[in-house]
Amino acid sequence: MNVLILYTELAGYVLGNINLFLVNNPEANLILVHYPVNPEAPFKIESLPRTQLIEFSIENQDIIKSGVEKFSPDIVLCSGWGNKFYLQIMDLIPATAKKVVCFDNKWKSSLKQNILVLISKFYLLKRFNYAWVPGNPQKTYALKLGFKEENIYTGLYPADSNYFLKIGQKKLEKGGAFPKVFLSVARYIAQKDLPTLWKAFINANNKTGNKWILKCIGLGDQFDSRIENEFIQHLGFKQPFEMEEFILNSGIYVLPSIEEPWGVAVHEMALSGLPLVLSNKVGAASMFLNENNGFSFPAGNQATLEEILIKIMNMDDAELNNMSIESIKSGRQLLSDDWSRTLLKIYNS
């Protein structure tokens, strides 16, 4: 079983899902073409069994083409349709292979999306016969593009459930006072809208007696213009294996994004037992946020976010611990093994 993956920006959870698939399927071989590591998320790429890793670049295109033709893949996963070279590779794949487009774009009925719907038959459907997306917001788009419902699969982005569920279990076993710590894991870029969170937190904390701390993990072009406050800790980027300590000592996860097609960190934090505070633009909220484990607010609305933070700050430990339990239940809807199972379903369909 030869698997070709044409990917854009790798992340730790992506490699984790691929690695688990390879462990569970010793007959599988893999070529993984990927973009260079983003300096804003400089995680370390670990080697994978029976896998050839190729970094995409203009200079590497002939090498990639030659390698793919020799490899003769049985199934191809392609990240979206924005890379023209990847689409050229898809044109070289024989019709006998399963060809899957993977994307996290939500349906917005924009002009660009409606044009793509009109030309999808000649642009996408001639190259791909399956779509694999994170959740229902993206499934709607796949249906609009003309993919048959039976050929659309969800669950594209599972977090490393084995790793994060263990953290969640440790949190429950630890017990004791609920940590008065908000945690945000997000890049310091305009899309994440961290300034709105910083301002709302400072105001809410002042009004309730300055008993809470906000820890922010990430890097980005807004890092140098971050708001400094004695109760806000800017911790920079952390490797996935470094996250356990911070999560165990945190209480609530907050993601204030003004644009977030999915957000794997939401799944990670739910599995870890953190209640969630998410803007209404976070795609993963559709699966992992409910009335029992967190709160939603309109993206960019500092006043509403401040009200939610104040409400949380005034809740007792029993209420907050119950929300932690509900987050873990919600997170368990999607597990790492599901990625492997879905890939095999497509391969065997």
From the CB of residue 72, how many other CB atoms can be counted at a distance below 10 Å? Answer: 12
**Single pTM value for the model:** 0.92
**276 DSSP β-pair partners:** 253, 294
Tell me how far the alpha carbon of residue 286 is from its chain's centroid.
13
CATH of 161-331, one of 3.10.450.50, 3.40.50.2000, 2.170.150.20, 3.40.718.10: 3.40.50.2000
**30 DSSP β-pair partners:** 3, 51
- Which 8-state DSSP code applies to residue 272? T
DSSP of 218-231: ---TTGGGPPP-TT
Q: Would you write out the chain's pLDDT as a tens digit for each of its 349 residues?
A: 999 999 999 988 899 999 999 999 999 999 999 999 877 776 777 789 999 999 999 999 999 999 999 999 999 999 999 999 999 999 999 999 999 999 999 999 999 999 999 999 999 999 999 999 999 999 999 999 999 999 999 999 999 999 999 999 999 998 889 999 999 999 999 999 999 999 999 999 999 999 999 999 999 999 999 999 999 999 999 988 899 999 999 999 999 999 999 999 999 999 999 999 999 999 999 999 999 999 999 999 999 999 999 999 999 999 999 999 999 999 999 999 999 999 999 999 9
- Reported as type and span, the H/E element at residue 55 is strand 51-55
Q: Which residues are CB-contacts of 324 (< 8 A; sequence separation ≥ 6)? A: 168, 171, 172, 178, 273, 274, 275, 293
Q: Which residues are CB-contacts of 302 (< 8 A; sequence separation ≥ 6)? A: 196, 199, 200
Q: Which residues are CB-contacts of 132 (< 8 A; sequence separation ≥ 6)? A: 77, 100, 101, 102, 152, 153, 154, 156, 342, 346
**152 DSSP β-pair partners:** 131
Q: Which residues are CB-contacts of 12 (< 8 A; sequence separation ≥ 6)? A: 43, 160, 239, 240
**Start-end of CATH 3.40.50.2000 domains in the chain:** 2-157+335-348, 161-331
CATH of 2-157+335-348, one of 1.20.120.1200, 3.40.462.40, 3.40.50.2000, 3.40.1160.10: 3.40.50.2000
Least Cα distance to 253 among 176, 337, 202, 309 occurs for 309
